[in-house]
Amino acid sequence: MPGIIGKKIGMTSVYSAEGKATPCTVIEAGPCVVTQVKTQDRDGYEAIQLGFGERREKNTPNALKGHFKKANTTPKSKLVEFKGFDGLNLGDVVDVQLFEQGEFVGIAGTSKGKGFQGVVKRHNFGGVGQSTHGQHNRLRAPGSIGACSYPARVFKGMRMAGQMGNKRVTVENLEVLRVLADKNLIVVKGSIPGPKGSTVIIQK
């Protein structure tokens, strides 16, 4: 689906005429430059590649420098392909006016990394045992993870302690509350994955 690359600014509240507060997220969406146009004849599928964010010239490989030079633009830090665009050419600009107030979008980003966490925090376990009768180290324990004799192994997908967060997460059906074209900002209802300043992908 058509979309755009953006940067999460932060969260705020939008008040309705009746005084109801709605939590929302402010995103800087674009402007994005078309850095490549893929066709069915040459690439086997039709799509466009958008570039967002500035990248230091000295940290850009020579191959990418030529790639951006074809599009007559400066080096970009993030490149993402989108399908569903029609009539765009190399070097064209896609901005926040792609979206309209009241429509629904899906937003993908990388969630906050929380390191190695136990089962209580990672999977909402309640813990085992009780705090009395001599128990002192079993309150947040995972409990049994499988049988001993058969199958004598732990099944794949068993909920255990481990790395939490730092994964790609997509939140769908978020309502667009505001589109501020002059500031390249879009305000969507609810929260989106990732910390402030992280890159997100917004799709219709």
Q: What CATH number should be reported for the domain holding residue 37?
A: 2.40.30.10
- pTM of the predicted model, to two decimals? 0.82
Provide the pLDDT for residue 90.
87
Provide the pLDDT for residue 194.
93
Please check whether residue 18 is in contact with residue 37, taking contact to mean a CB–CB distance below 8 angstroms. Answer: no
- Helix, strand, or coil (residue 136): coil
Q: Are residues 100 and 35 in the same domain?
A: yes
Q: Are residues 198 and 100 in the same domain?
A: yes
Question: Domain total for the chain?
Answer: 2
Q: Are residues 84 and 140 in the same domain?
A: no
Provide the pLDDT for residue 150.
87
Residue 155: left (phi > 0), alpha (psi -120 to 50), or beta? beta
**Domain limits for position 155:** 117-164
Here the tokens at position 13 are 């509240």
Provide the pLDDT for residue 27.
95
Provide the pLDDT for residue 4.
93
Please check whether residue 123 is in contact with residue 159, taking contact to mean a CB–CB distance below 8 angstroms. Answer: yes
Q: Are residues 39 and 79 in the same domain?
A: yes
Provide the pLDDT for residue 43.
86
Q: Are residues 111 and 130 in the same domain?
A: no
**Rg of the chain on CA atoms, in Å:** 23
Beta strands in 1-150 (DSSP E): 3-15, 21-29, 32-38, 47-54, 76-82, 93-94, 104-110, 115-117
pLDDT tens-digit map of 143-169: 888 888 888 899 999 999 999 999 999
Q: Are residues 128 and 145 in the same domain?
A: yes
Provide the pLDDT for residue 177.
92
Q: Are residues 106 and 128 in the same domain?
A: no
Q: Are residues 60 and 82 in the same domain?
A: yes
pLDDT below 50 — which residues of the chain?
Answer: none
Provide the pLDDT for residue 143.
84
